[in-house]
Amino acid sequence: MIDTSKETLEAEQRFLTGENFYVQHFLGVRKIESGYVFRVWAPHARQVYLVGDFNNWDESLPMEKREESGVWELSSSLPVEGQLYKFLVEQANGRKIMKIDPFAIRFEKRPGTAAEIYTIADKKWQDNLWRGRQKKTRSLRRPLNIYEVHASSWQHHEDGQPYTFKELKEALIPYVKEMNYTHIEFLPLMEHPLGASWGYQLTGFFALSSYYGTPEEFRDFVDSCHENNIGVFVDWVPGHFCVNEDTLPYYDGTPTFEYEDPNRARNNRWGTICFDLGKPQVQSFLISSALFWLEVYHLDGMRVDAVSSMLYLDYDEGPWEPNHEGGNRNFEGFYFLQKLNAVIKLAFPQTIMMAEESSSETQITGMIESGALGFDYKWNMGWMNDVLRFYEMDPVFRKENFHLLTFSFMYMMDEHYILPFSHDEVVHGKKSLMHKMWGDRYKQFAHLRNMYTFMIAHPGKKLLFMGSEWGQFLEWRYNEGLVWSNLEDEMNAKMQHFTAMLNALYKEERSLWELEDTAETIELIDADNTDESVLTFIRKSKTKKDFLIVALNLSPVERQDFSIGVPYPGSYREVLNTERVEFGGTWTKNNPTCESIEQPFKHFNQQIQTILPSLGALIIKPEDIQMK
């Protein structure tokens, strides 16, 4: 019998209007006094049957249709916790096909695709202190240095099986803490049928992939991260979904979750199906998924994948039609993303929302009221591409291409940026970051240390993909663990040590993040020294005496008695030299403390002189200065 209670009717109506942001309590499976109630949205289906372990997967349990919403419903005392089920959908054309439950919170292990009747156990969280601290300060005024992880290939057992989150809790958390990262970001953890998609072609938007263990294990992992002062982000994919016909595509035989227009429904580039982001029921589905992950797993934020594909009608390969204004804006996607961020910020104001977006035509970060999408951060893909191109280049050609390193200073305040060296840059023949670097093996390590110093010192939050912290030479392989045996090599071990020390310096030095949302955070000393390929600048904090001088030598020539302009007279101490022996270089000690001399340099009245190592980077801090 159809449930006509006031609560259910209200949930149904909110689903139809795109305002039910906890739709998993209405659709999917839910425990009731007499057993379980199952509901699934298939408005044009001729009939839907509940099938599973409890009825030998036959048609003995027909469901009843709620005519207003097109939701099919059945209450039954037959199923029990842990049993598997699907929906047998007789589609609009009469074809019968087994379909997954789009709202399931647990699936059997792949290659199986049936949902499991599952109740996530209650948990007494221990992270109140962490969550309280996150509410006190805006993330812009805190250090944010992300270790990007593909959960199933970070480390493998000898038999090739990946670690579960129970095992990652014991191995990954201590490692991230030792390496001085502030956050972990996981490639998508939601259920997906093909490991080769890395999790970006989803089927279960509410389900932790059973490949990674249980929901309870992931909750314990997040709780332990927070106890160790590590935040947790997860990638989330609202733009498109897996094409497998037993999952979401053409659920009732007609466009249901996808666009009516077949050209808009197909994503040719990725071989997926695109959500109709203007459909109210789809908005309820997707926003509920995001809130579910934030609430149930206490995530600190989400990175929304492939935002450009949701913003532009001509993003994909193939035919497209202009919008009603004659342009390429996908208005449905634009307004959905604004709505998503507005709802999330209302529910969880401290949540950090990040966008992977590669264009410059739309304001991604900032207030929705001003026309922006409302994200907190945007991945700076332009910076990443320019920087990698520069460091791959023979130094002979760098003087003519110095703009690749300095152009970002022109637009760095246009958005709130994350500077990413992500998984996408170390796969599909692009080579690892280490392998990209110019020169022999020694010079490659020197370049990598220099480049990481530039990332840490440049305004913007930071992200580095796993394995890059020690300079793994092989490309990332999703179906294998990282090459941990690299660390038996002295140079790799020293590179790992360098990254940990650099990350610690970033956390300790307020000038690297305290004023990051203002232009006052940086002052260029000399961005025009193209002949010597040396870049120098200052990073500042709220306290005028607290600042750092950064000097990057991008040439394989040591610079003796090199002049650097400084703002105040006094002494200056070197706090980082990337060419120290302990990091893999040849220097046994830092440069001595410098005393400024009263001699003009650019717009400064004072300067210091020091030695710049070949391909080295220095960070220098005032020790005893006189301010007027």
pLDDT tens for 574-617 read 999 999 999 999 999 999 999 999 999 999 999 999 999 999 99
Query: Vertex 423, ends 171 and 382: CA angle to 5°?
Result: 135
Task: Judge contact between 278 and 285, C-beta under 8 A.
Answer: no
Co-location of 159 and 79 in the same domain: no
Q: Are strands 606-612 and 522-526 parallel, antiparallel or unpaired?
A: unpaired
Average pLDDT, the chain: 96
* CB neighbours of residue 345 within 10 Å: 15
Q: What is the pLDDT of residue 12?
A: 97
pLDDT over threshold 80, residue 622:
yes
Domain membership flag for residue 322: yes
Nearest CA to 99 out of 272, 245, 266 is that of 245
pLDDT tens for 341-383 read 999 999 999 999 999 998 889 999 999 999 999 999 999 999 9
Domain membership flag for residue 362: yes
Domain membership flag for residue 402: no
d(CA 585, CA 498): 11
Q: What is the CA radius of gyration of the chain?
A: 27
**Could you tell me where the DSSP H helices lie in 67-164?**
128-136
Co-location of 163 and 107 in the same domain: no
**Could you tell me where the DSSP H helices lie in 393-440?**
403-406, 408-411, 433-436
pLDDT tens for 524-564 read 999 999 999 999 999 999 999 999 999 999 999 999 999 99
Active site residue 58: no
Domain membership flag for residue 411: no
Q: What is the CATH number of the domain that holds 218?
A: 3.20.20.80
Q: Average pLDDT in the 393-408 region?
A: 96
d(CA 422, CA 440): 24
Co-location of 488 and 360 in the same domain: yes
Q: Are strands 231-236 and 190-191 parallel, antiparallel or unpaired?
A: unpaired
Q: Which domain holds residue 12?
A: 6-116
pLDDT tens for 504-524 read 999 999 999 999 999 999 999
Domain membership flag for residue 107: yes
Question: Is 535 strand, coil or helix?
Answer: strand
Q: What is the pLDDT of residue 138?
A: 82
Structural domains in the chain (count): 2
Q: What is the pLDDT of residue 320?
A: 94
Nearest CA to 3 out of 89, 46, 60, 64 is that of 64
Task: Judge contact between 116 and 82, C-beta under 8 A.
Answer: yes
Co-location of 497 and 422 in the same domain: yes
Residue 464: both structure tokens together:
């580095």
Co-location of 101 and 168 in the same domain: no
Co-location of 330 and 427 in the same domain: yes
Domain membership flag for residue 53: yes
Q: How confident is the model at residue 3 (pLDDT cuts 50, 70, 90)?
A: very high
Q: What is the CATH number of the domain that holds 15?
A: 2.60.40.10
Range 366-391 burial, b when 16+ CB lie within 10 A, else e: bebeeebbbbbbbbbbebbebbbebb
DSSP secondary structure code for residue 558 in this structure: -
pLDDT over threshold 80, residue 628:
no
**Could you tell me where the DSSP H helices lie in 348-440?**
381-392, 403-406, 408-411, 433-436
Those residues whose C-beta lies under 8 Å from the C-beta of residue 610, and which sit 6 or more positions away, are 551, 561, 562, 564, 574, 591, 594, 618, 620
Which amino acid appears at position 126 of this protein?
A: Q
pLDDT over threshold 80, residue 59:
yes
Q: Average pLDDT in the 158-167 region?
A: 90
d(CA 202, CA 267): 14
Co-location of 90 and 159 in the same domain: no
| Catalytic choice (73, 258, 276, 356) | 356
Question: Domain boundary residue among 489, 508, 527?
Answer: 508
| Catalytic choice (90, 258, 305, 514) | 305
Q: Average pLDDT in the 72-76 region?
A: 97
Q: How confident is the model at residue 317 (pLDDT cuts 50, 70, 90)?
A: confident
Question: Is cis: bond before 143, omega within 30 of 0?
Answer: no
d(CA 229, CA 318): 46
Categorise residue 183: left if φ over 0, alpha if ψ from -120 to 50, beta otherwise. beta
pLDDT over threshold 90, residue 137:
no
Residue 172: both structure tokens together:
């990954």
Q: Average pLDDT in the 109-113 region?
A: 93
Return the C-alpha torsion angle 250, 255, 261, 263, nearest 10: -20
Domain membership flag for residue 155: yes
d(CA 503, CA 183): 12
Co-location of 350 and 287 in the same domain: yes
Active site residue 305: yes
Domain membership flag for residue 585: no
Residue 81: both structure tokens together:
């916790």
Co-location of 112 and 149 in the same domain: no
Q: What is the pLDDT of residue 500?
A: 98
Co-location of 221 and 104 in the same domain: no
Co-location of 477 and 359 in the same domain: yes
Co-location of 372 and 467 in the same domain: yes
